[in-house]
Chains A and B, each alone.
Chain A
């Protein structure tokens, strides 16, 4: 192995170059075209609407949500669950890039890692949005609170989610800084973490599935297939979103990207979307063929129960989206047809959002454990809060991409001479 160049630099120079790296990053994240400003301003506005809605919820109670003692989790936890999948799905770029040493993928793998970071940030915000007592959040901190580990699956989830966030922040931060300095990254400082992040990505979604899967009193969730189903749909929604990002970057960011990584991702989704469908069919077969009391949630979800059928249109849309997307992904040269590709990815993403969001969380509570049918659809307030969280995630994602892409392209470099800043184009 060649001498790792990053060790050569003395710490004192880092003291100069690292702050400059941060300064350049901040300035790049806030500079851009009119379109970029418009996008970021719009997101900020939505985020602020969400903050305001949440502040109302926190002060006057969650009575203005449509959650009840019967359906005690709703849109927030649904989105949380889905976002964990998106975060885990980012790893589908990391595997080809590093395990299969796909050089072209290595050039763009940062998109997946940044998506993971932004998605985890949204996840954590969704958990906070769902708390009845956000002021007591610190009770969950190990050390100063009372952390019910290892009994409570939620404590496991807190650990793995934050762990995943930290691993990805480290990898991304390190690689970007090295590229900024124009030096070859030292594999010792990132390779082990990348391998760890692959295992960890699986763990975040498995643990999140265990949150539900382990509850004996909720037959709809109490299925051994839940964790594998979660993973399969994560490996649909994550890559689908990354493909969409690449298309946007190519169109508006003037990014020179080869088709090859996108093609790899399309190949991945082509398979995972079918695996996901297969598992859904297997679940449904067990539910409906055997019949009995355990099928009442599934029956409610797909066909409604008397007057109560709020989720029926949702789930059938998801099924149609998934099937159409699966068929589109079969097309061998899909990458060449941008419009079709966008449609396929959007449908796959939306399908997973319904199926792994509302379609999974809400029927777990309907009928209730005493077999009462109390329905749930999110209130205005809940939609506003959720939109705010998603907008914040997109802000993080957009700003970090704005910084990362020029660095990876080599357009943004550390100069030894005091910075003669030229205005960004």
Chain B
């Protein structure tokens, strides 16, 4: 062996050693990934909601129910109610009577199996000085006795826009508007890019920055596939007008919890509904009308 080629071999060996060490270090650096639980092949390969056959859907729901049983030790039931024909849900809030108690915020938190640690909810209530409609004057973190005489209160949640910017921007169609007007998210398809959160003008979307924490005894077992089932980590969620209730003829949890009767909910296509009466007889307005989002959520004053 000549001197030159032995030098070359040594160099090769050093390089090989370097590459091996590098690869090992890379594997070690990645190791926290493999510790993460809750990942399985079925969930990894699952298709988009709209591509699931009824049998697929059944299998997915059974899997989710079994997983919940294992994680929490309670039996839950996941339904997937579809929109009723001739229905378009609309919400309205009477700002003259809303007293800012935040009962709706709490009810949403419980109904929708939100993370207990972050006190998550789909509703935020703005306390606004009387005499302005400028949201810049609002305050969401008040904690004094309500109502304060010089203030009015404005709860904000998903406005279920007819032109939803969040749906347009989603790169993978993980969120869409259903026939009855409700904008939903497929929690098993969302990639968690949070583009929809940037696009929403109403701060309606929430992200699961971690796996939601829920004590077993506080779980609401009546769950909807596209609504209040316990969300996975790393996906976006939002208000869905309690579709697991409203599509079955019940009222949203926030409405039932409201102590003042400020909230009116119903099918705008039904001429005899309360909501229809409000929209026809009150001077209603929508938030940020200039953006052209066409909300299905209205506000009005009595006097």
Contacts and interface: CB of A to CB of B under 8 A. Distances in A.
Interface of A: 30-31, 44, 48-49, 51-52, 55-56, 58-63, 65, 67-70, 72-73, 127, 130-133, 135-137, 139-140, 145-148, 151-155, 158, 211-212, 215-218, 293, 296, 364-365, 367-372, 421-423
A61 B172 contact: no
A69 B197 contact: yes
Contacts of A369: 200-203
B210 A60 contact: yes
B203 to A, nearest CB: 5
Given A152-B195, A423-B8, 12 more contacts: A31-B11, A51-B26, A51-B30, A59-B35, A130-B194, A131-B234, A132-B193, A132-B233, A132-B235, A146-B174, A152-B169, A216-B165
Contacts of A423: 4, 7-8, 11
A68 B190 CA distance: 18
B233 A61 contact: yes
Nearest to B15: A30
Given A51-B30, A52-B29, A216-B165, A371 B193 contact: no
B198 A132 contact: no
Contact of B191 (A30, A59, A139): A139
B85 interface: no
B104 to A, nearest CB: 16
Contacts of B32: 52, 55-56, 58-60
B66 interface: no
B200 A153 contact: no
B42 interface: no
B13 to A, nearest CB: 13
Interface residues of B, number: 67
A148 B171 contact: yes
Contacts of A70: 203
A42 B158 CA distance: 48
18 contacts: A44-B22, A58-B36, A61-B211, A62-B234, A73-B194, A131-B191, A131-B193, A132-B208, A133-B232, A139-B174, A139-B189, A152-B170, A212-B198, A215-B198, A370-B135, A370-B140, A371-B138, A423-B7
B198 A364 contact: yes
Interface string B217-245: 00000000000000011111000000000
Contacts of B178: none
B44 A135 contact: yes
Given A59-B36, A217-B288, A132 B203 contact: no
A51 B289 CA distance: 45
B126 A422 contact: no
B68 interface: no
A370 B291 contact: no
A59 B33 contact: yes
Contacts of A370: 124, 126, 135, 138, 140, 156, 202-203
Contacts of A367: 136
B253 to A, nearest CB: 20
Nearest to A149: B171
B72 interface: no
Contact of B173 (A133, A146, A218): A146
A146 B194 contact: no
B168 interface: yes
A215 B4 contact: no
Interface string B99-135: 0000000000000000000000000101000000011
Contacts of A421: 8
B52 interface: no
A411 B291 CA distance: 61
A151 B31 CA distance: 38
Contacts of B202: 217, 369-370
B171 A154 contact: yes
Nearest to B193: A131
